[in-house]
Amino acid sequence: MTRVAYQGAEGAFSEAAALTAYPDAETVGYATFHEVFEAVAGGAVHCGVVPVENSLAGSINQTYDLLLEHDLHVVGEVILRVQHCLVAPKGTRIEEVRRVISHPQALAQCDGFLARYHLEGVPVYDTAGAARQLAQHPEPGVAAIASRRAAERYGLEVLAEGIEDFEFNYTRFFVLATQERPRGEGPHKTSVVFALRQRLGHSPGGLLEVLQGFAEHRVNLTKLESRPRRDRPWSYVFYVDFEGHVEDPAPAQALLALLRRASFVKVLGSYPMAPNGA
């Protein structure tokens, strides 16, 4: 049976993403993103699923840093609709709730709901972990924000569903493995990370010059983001997603142009595009 690592407790959105990618898999939760990467790299699991960006909160910077540090391949992506619930021990009425525990991002995404009911948000490390903590150590007047799946897993009652401030709340996940996946059918994406040569790093148009090959070969960029380099102050690496597979003619030519102009390029992977990942 395929074993898939994710960060968090049972019922986490990351576990739901893992089961979306591998419905019949055995999911294995780890406390940190670093442990997920290590589990995949060390062979404890077949693959891992980690969040890379949220449609409201932006990129998960720790994931991008770990992608640069580890020699793993991105072999898939999952786009998951995130729907938050207010959950509490059975018999709790919403009028009794005064404090709500959850991951800081979940609390921020439900800020309007918390304000409307005059609830105090208390950050903890994980949404599903908050549900588990509440089930194991219930306190009067305390509820949690988590998924319906987490509520069912830990025997909690859903007091309110869909409490996020915006419906357009999606998280994108990468599927990680030690080996590349053979090219399949359908549209693909490719993710790479690169750095500018020193002469271009602080010159006008330097980034444009390095990316020129994508325009020349009509390859569409779907994401471009910079992150600080850890080995050189005030220098940056750039993460790029583009449409197509590295084996396709136009993306291959665009990537070759990037290799010629950048100081280094790391191909994170080419993978099937999620149905709603355009």
Residue 244's nearest CA partner among 233, 255, 236 is 255
Rounded to whole angstroms, the Cα distance separating 115 from 86 reads 14
Check 33, 37, 113, 173 and give the catalytic one.
Answer: 173
Pairing of strands 26-30, 3-7: parallel
State in Å, rounded, how far the first CA of the chain is from the last one.
31
Helices and strands counted in the chain (H then E): 10, 15
Respond yes or no: is residue 174 known to be catalytic: no
Check 27, 63, 127, 171 and give the catalytic one.
Answer: 171
Residue 230's nearest CA partner among 103, 100, 89, 61 is 61
Respond yes or no: is residue 173 known to be catalytic: yes
Q: Which two tokens stand for residue 14?
A: 């990351």
- Per-residue burial over 209-244, b if 16 or more Cβ lie within 10 Å, else e, is ebbebbeebebeeeeebebeeeeeeebebbbbbbbb
Residue 187's nearest CA partner among 80, 76, 79, 81 is 76
Q: What angle do CA 129, 135, 141 make, to 5 degrees?
A: 105
Which residues are part of the catalytic machinery? 171, 173
